[in-house]
């Protein structure tokens, strides 16, 4: 532990289980001395996330479904925050399983609401709590700018999320609040399992990425530590790739 986040309080949204990228980030934040607040979506995850919160020494855990305004309103009741990690995405499984051109109006709206608009709503609620400045971090994927088989409407949602990061960074910069995205390489999590043929993506990355392997969630977590800490003080509006270098590759 090097105490990079000593004295800082971080809100982490998106821990569902031990495989969640948000869990790896929460672990690294804890290691660096941050005080943690976690959220979960819905009654089903209450007990498992409360157990993880206890293990992580989180000071608070509460329900926050980002599609519900009353849940989002609870964010503004938290005390001072120094960092927010938004690690949330959702699309209907059928929209990740059929041609993109078949995406329904409702499926498109849902994916964009949960995966992109929620970052705007969370930033709006959290910014007033960052009275001394802070860092907001979200998780994105290469499918925002490249066509990756079956990523479909999630790619459109990630493109929107990355644009939102730039607009938020521009508006919140004068308040010393930095907003960045980490573009993680594919990692086998519950959400990733919803993408058809995900194991083929993992194999292709391991074969072609400069590191000839996949991404370790701990690498994503350490990048989040950098962005949340004072070491990242010069960086905002950015998309930082933590993907074993896969994004630079052409043929």
Q: Which residues pair with 139 in a beta bridge?
A: 182
In which residue are the tokens 């969630």 written? Answer: 217
Residues 26, 34, 90, 144: which binds ligand NAP (CB under 6 A)? 90
The answer to whether 23 is a known catalytic residue is no
Comparing CB distances to ligand NAP, the nearer of 16 and 130 is 16
Smallest distance, Å, CB 136 to ligand NAP? 14
Query: Quick one: which of 56, 46, 44 has its CA closest to 18?
Result: 56
* Residue 191 lies near ligand NAP (rule: CB under 6 A): yes
The answer to the question of residue 189 lying near ligand NAP (CB under 6 A) is yes
Sheet of strand 239-242: strand arrangement = 60-63, 35-40, 9-13, 83-86, 134-140, 177-184, 239-242
- Alpha-helical segments (H) within the chain: 21-31, 46-56, 69-75, 105-112, 118-126, 152-172, 198-208, 217-228
In the bound state with ligand NAP, the residue whose beta carbon lies nearer, of 28 and 88, is 88
In contact, 79 and 128? CB cutoff 8 Å:
no
Task: Give the one residue of 83, 89, 91, 228 binding ligand NAP; rule: CB under 6 A.
Answer: 89
Among residues 31, 35, 45, 216, which is the contact residue for ligand NAP, using CB under 6 A? 45
Q: Does position 155 bind ligand NAP by CB under 6 A?
A: no
Q: What is the Cα 247 distance to its own chain's centre?
A: 18
By CB under 6 A, what part of segment 49-78 binds ligand NAP? 64-67
Q: Indicate whether 14 belongs to the interface with ligand NAP (CB under 6 A).
A: yes
Annotated catalytic residue 40: no
Cα–Cα distance between 68 and 41 in angstroms, integer? 10
Tokens of 13: 């949204």
Task: Give the residue with the Cβ less far from ligand NAP, 41 or 236.
Answer: 41
* Residue 190 binding ligand NAP, by CB under 6 A: yes
The three-class DSSP label of residue 46 is: helix
State the minimum distance, in angstroms, from the CB of residue 113 to ligand NAP: 8
Positions touching ligand NAP (CB under 6 A) are 14, 16, 19-22, 41-42, 45, 64-67, 87-90, 114, 139-141, 184, 186-187, 189-192
Residues with catalytic function = 141, 151
């Amino acid at each position: 532990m090097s105490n990079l986040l000593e004295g800082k309080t971080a809100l982490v949204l998106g821990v569902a289980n031990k495989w969640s990228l948000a869990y790896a980030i929460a672990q690294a934040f804890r290691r660096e001395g941050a005080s943690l607040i976690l959220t979960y979506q819905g009654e089903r995850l209450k007990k498992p996330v409360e157990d993880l919160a206890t293990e992580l020494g989180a000071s608070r855990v509460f329900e926050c479904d980002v599609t519900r305004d009353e849940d989002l309103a609870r964010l503004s009741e938290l005390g001072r925050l120094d960092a927010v990690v938004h690690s949330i995405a959702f699309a209907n499984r059928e929209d990740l399983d059929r041609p993109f051109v078949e995406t329904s109006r409702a499926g498109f709206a849902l994916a964009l609401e949960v995966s992109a608009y929620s970052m705007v709503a969370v930033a709006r609620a959290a910014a007033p709590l960052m009275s001394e400045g802070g860092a907001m971090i979200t998780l994105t994927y290469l499918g925002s700018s490249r066509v990756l088989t079956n990523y479909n409407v999630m790619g459109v949602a990630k493109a929107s999320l990355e644009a939102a990061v730039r607009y938020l960074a521009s508006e919140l910069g004068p308040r010393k609040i930095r907003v960045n995205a980490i573009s993680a390489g594919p990692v086998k999590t519950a959400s990733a399992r919803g993408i058809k043929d995900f194991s083929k993506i993992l194999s292709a990355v391991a074969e072609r990425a400069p590191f000839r392997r996949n991404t370790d969630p701990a690498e994503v977590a350490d990048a989040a530590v950098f962005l949340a800490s004072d070491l990242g003080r010069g960086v905002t509006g950015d998309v930082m790739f933590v993907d074993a270098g896969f994004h630079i590759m052409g043929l």
